[in-house]
Amino acid sequence: MMEKVLQGDCLDILPTFETESIDLIYLDPPFFTNTIQKLKTRDGSKEFSYSDIWESHKEYAEFLYKRLKELKRVLKQDGSIFVHCDKNSTHIVKALLDDIFGLKQFQSEIIWYYKRWSNSKKGLLPSHQTIYFYSKTKDFKFKRVYNDYSQTTNIDQILQKRVKDGNGKTVYAKDKNGNTINSDIKKGVPLNDVWEIPYLNPKAKERVGYPTQKPILLLERIIEIASNEGDTILDPFCGSGTTLVAGKLNNRKVIGIDKSEDAINITKSRLDNPIKSESNLLKKGKKAYQNVSDMVEKLLYDIDYIPVQRNSGIDAILKETYKNSPILIRIQKENETIEEAIKSLSRAVISKASKKSFLIRTNNIKSLFEFDYIDDKIKIINSLSYELKFS
């Protein structure tokens, strides 16, 4: 894949680009903080800095306006631009984007939310930055991304079809006999415009000491929703090169521009040896929303499923269906007999009109009473641990 890292002012370099040659643009320009931004490398061997001092907001606006105009020219008809800013510049950036790209091309105001410890001065602790998402035309690339359901979502909300009644109220759809109608299995909750992605830990492996370095996870999300593999991504203020590294890791062509020689050298070094930090916070957060035991996650790790919350009979449903009915999954619990597990799943099979369900056997606890009823819609599968212990 193409990797270009160019040193200089993007206003001077962009005119050499062909018109409508870029699929996706992300920029993290100066924030109008009127400070000198400084940060040292993890080992303290070097300090990086750049000036974000301006004579006036007018000077800052003119600086951005000229560059945004040229960025619009190089953006393809189905392309999008994401502009990163904070409380110091959001009002200026939004007005410029509305003027250059048009009010109708405004798609989203993305809030990047994070937690940071700080002994801040009097006032509220800053915990977010803003990313404005604009498209060049109404026919822009967009991939819908889904998150898992929250732990307050019940199985009926996932399975049952909902419609508007005569009063405009959302209700569960029913057939002529009064029975609820199942919908196609939903993929999850569509990604919203508040993204909780951890700020880079000072000890994170991917941190290089650049003052405004953003996490790769943040850029990967933008790349995922607004581009395809093989597309060309441009960052005209590439800084430490995070956009380019994220693009390379996701099979995109990448171009970065920056005035700073330090930034160019860091970017080239990171492209030669891409390092991405895994977020324990994100992993723990995901588990917190999936109210499913560790055993369930381990047994279903390679299956395309939706975890089920607030239902004692079902642990998950498959994303595919069987004869237009949901496929239910239950894991036998640690101190539960197979008969007890079957009874619990059977009730769910009836209430959810499932035509095929699976019970995964995990132990060999004997029942005190004989039990010979097994619903023909339930198939019992032995887990690997069961096979190793009892076969």
- Please write the tens of the pLDDT for every residue from 335-351: 888 888 898 899 888 88
CA 291 remoteness from chain centre:
20
Report the alpha-carbon distance of residue 246 to residue 197 in Å, rounded. 15
Residue 53 has pLDDT above 70, yes or no: no
Count the neighbouring beta carbons within 10 Å of the beta carbon of residue 69. Answer: 14
Angle at 17 between CA 255 and CA 136, to 5 degrees: 85
Alpha carbon distance 108, 334 (integer Å): 46
Indicate the burial class of 104 (C-beta count within 10 angstroms; 0-12, 13-18, 19 or more).
Answer: exposed
d(CA 175, CA 343): 28
Please state the rounded mean pLDDT for residues 247-266. 94
Reading phi first (left if > 0) and then psi (alpha if -120 to 50, else beta), residue 8 is in left
Lowest mean pLDDT among 246-255, 284-293, 300-309, 363-372: 284-293
Please determine, for residue 286, whether its predicted confidence score (pLDDT) is greater than 50.
no
Task: Give φ, ψ of 317 to 5 degrees.
Answer: -130, 145
Q: What confidence score (pLDDT) does residue 167 get?
A: 83
Q: Per-residue confidence at 126, pLDDT binned at 50, 70, 90?
A: confident
DSSP per-residue letters across 197-230: -PPPPTT-TT--S-TTPPPHHHHHHHHHHH--TT
Average pLDDT over every residue of 230-241: 96
Residue type present at position 319:
K
Highest mean pLDDT among 113-122, 123-132, 293-302: 123-132
Q: Give the model confidence (pLDDT) of 302-329 as tens digits.
A: 788 888 876 778 888 888 888 888 999 9
Percent of the chain scored above 90 by pLDDT? 42
Query: At which residue do the structure tokens 């606006």 appear?
Result: 61
Of 14-18, 141-145, 162-166, 372-376, minimum mean pLDDT range: 372-376
Mean pLDDT of 5-19: 97
Give the confidence band of 199 by pLDDT, cuts at 50, 70, 90: confident
DSSP state of 104: G
Check residues 114 and 152 and name the one with the higher pLDDT.
114
Is 379:360 a contact under the CB 8 Å cutoff?
Answer: no
Q: Which of 18-32, 78-92, 177-191 has the lowest mean pLDDT?
A: 177-191
When pLDDT is cut at 50, 70 and 90, the band that residue 243 belongs to is: very high
Q: Looking at the predicted structure, is the pLDDT value of residue 213 above 90?
A: no
At residue 363, the pLDDT reads 85
Instruction: Say what the pLDDT of residue 310 is.
Output: 67
Beta strands 194-196 and 189-190 are unpaired
* Paired tokens of 286: 């995901």
53 vs 164, more confident: 164
| pTM for this model (two decimals) | 0.68
Higher local confidence (pLDDT), 23 or 203: 23
* Rounded mean pLDDT, 113-119: 74
What fold is seen in the domain 3-147+189-280?
Answer: Rossmann fold (3.40.50)
pLDDT band at 65 (very low <50, low <70, confident <90, very high): very high
Give the pLDDT band of residue 384 (cuts 50, 70, 90): confident
Q: Is the Cβ–Cβ distance between 319 and 186 less than 8 Å?
A: no
Q: How far apart are CA 253 and CA 230, in angstroms?
A: 6
Among the residue ranges 3-7, 87-91, 124-128, 173-177, the one predicted with the least confidence is 173-177
Structure confidence at residue 388 (pLDDT):
72
